[in-house]
Amino acid sequence: MRKALFAVGAGLLSTSMLTSVASPASAQEPRRGQTVTERARPDYDAKGLRAGSFLLFPQLALSSEYDDNIYASQTGKVDDFIFIARPELRVRSDWGRHAVGLRAGAELGRHADNSSENYTDYFALADSRFDITAGTALNVNAGYQNRHEERGAANDVGGAEPTEYDLTTAGVTLRREVARLSGRLMADWRNYDFEDVAAFGGGLLDQDTRDRNEYGVTGRLAYATSPNLSAFVQGGFNWRRYDQGSARDSDGYAATGGVAVDISGITTGEVFAGYRRQNYKDSAYASVDGLTYGASLDWNPTPLTTVSVGVSNTVEETTLSGSSSFVQTEYQVRVDHELLRNLILGGYAGYAEDDYKGSVREEELYSAGIGMKYLFNQFFNIDVGYGFSSRVSNIPGRDFESNAAFLRLTATY
């Protein structure tokens, strides 16, 4: 729930900071294909600290949130205030060639009345780009995150405390462009390590059966038919391997084709569709195959407004007994508007369907939210927001509705 809620504030502006006096919104044209939340605001963007050929951006965000259903339960709702601190450090290189970046930080959530829901997440993420030759680049990334599952998440086991887990990732991408042709080859790895969680009434809920490694390889080839349009084909394989036994181990592949558009920088993004299949080694688990599709489009009807549309269709892992997985189809639209140069309004609405394979369970998820960010100067900004989340399930007891609101102050150098 908080994940969806804070997406309002996070999506409003990708770089924090600001002057004290609001001025009329500028009608200057954004950079080609750039959204309202991505554009540079020289009077308000953080300048950072220089350390040789690197720039450091320390940041601290303090927020207070009210949630009227912290356990995402259908009955016996419990409300609470949550106080959240997010220290973070971003480092990026300032080189003419090649690039290196680092993000490290934490999120500490403390509940006013329900201390069992307190959490401490932290992360460190690094990425790099090596410019091999003109038109050829290699990107390498790696990261570690200690996280917790949100109440109301599809696989939340309903423990007395939130489920904690470690996520370790690594990836490499090779890109090559020659005239109208471009190619991309990607490989990635994810390791999930779940902690056992205390059960209500005593004892532990074993989560070791969820520990796994996920590997993926994807290739993409595109041809630009015009400056505004390119067609592409993409194919990929994935392997999912669990630490305990092979009952849920699976291999999958997908082949898709689509188009990427850039119409005068006003409408940018891509749309694709194709076929995918996920095969499970244990015949007790049903394989998943069929149509897959997706879209990611940004439309700037005016220099001050961006409408973003996202569609995804993915095969997700599940903890549900007898079910191999669930197919999640998600639709989301968000609008961001620059009312003043230092006042950005935003809102979103989302809908998702979770279809569990090998089970009768089917669920629908609804979300919506609004938010506002005000930039004081280069060092401080404040944002407020409201979010609504709901799940409708054909399994008794799994429905819920949640309303949450937050106020956040962010300081960045």
Distances (CA, A) of 377 to 22, 342, 398: 10, 9, 45
Which amino acid makes up residue 8?
Answer: V
Question: Where are the domains positioned within the chain?
Answer: 2-412
User: By the 8 A CB rule, do 209 and 196 touch?
Assistant: no
Cα–Cα distance for residue pair 87/37, rounded to 1 Å: 22
- CATH number attached to the domain at 2-412: 2.40.160
Given a contact cutoff of 8 angstroms between Cβ atoms, the answer to whether 103 and 124 are in contact is: yes
Which ranges in 1-138 belong to alpha helices (H)? Answer: 2-12
Spatial CB neighbours of 12, under 8 Å, sequence gap ≥ 6 = 37, 336, 344, 345, 346, 371, 372, 373, 383
- The confidence score (pLDDT) of residue 201 equals 87
**Interatomic CA distance for residues 193 and 211, integer angstroms:** 5
Q: Answer for the pair 293, 313: CB distance below 8 angstroms, yes or no.
A: yes
DSSP string, 56-71: EEEEEEEEEEEES-TT
Question: 361 is written with which tokens?
Answer: 């369970």
- Nearest-CA neighbor of 192 among 216, 169, 163, 161? 169
The β-bridge partners of 52 are: none
Please state the φ and ψ torsions of residue 7, each to the nearest 5 degrees: -60, -25
- Show pLDDT as tens, one digit a residue, over the chain (413 residues): 445 444 444 444 433 322 233 333 444 445 667 899 988 899 999 999 999 999 999 999 999 999 999 999 999 999 999 999 999 999 999 998 999 999 999 999 999 999 999 999 999 999 999 999 999 999 999 999 999 999 999 999 999 999 999 999 999 999 999 999 999 999 999 999 999 999 998 899 999 999 999 999 999 999 999 989 999 999 999 999 999 877 899 999 999 999 999 988 899 999 999 999 999 999 889 899 999 999 999 999 999 999 999 999 999 999 998 899 999 999 999 999 999 999 999 999 999 999 999 999 999 999 999 999 999 999 999 999 999 999 999 999 999 999 999 999 999 99
User: Closest Cα to residue 5, out of 410, 408, 404?
Assistant: 404
256 and 233 Cβ atoms separated by less than 8 Å: yes
> d(Cα 8, Cα 4) in Å, to the nearest integer?
7
Spatial contact of 384 and 63, defined as CB atoms under 8 Å apart: no
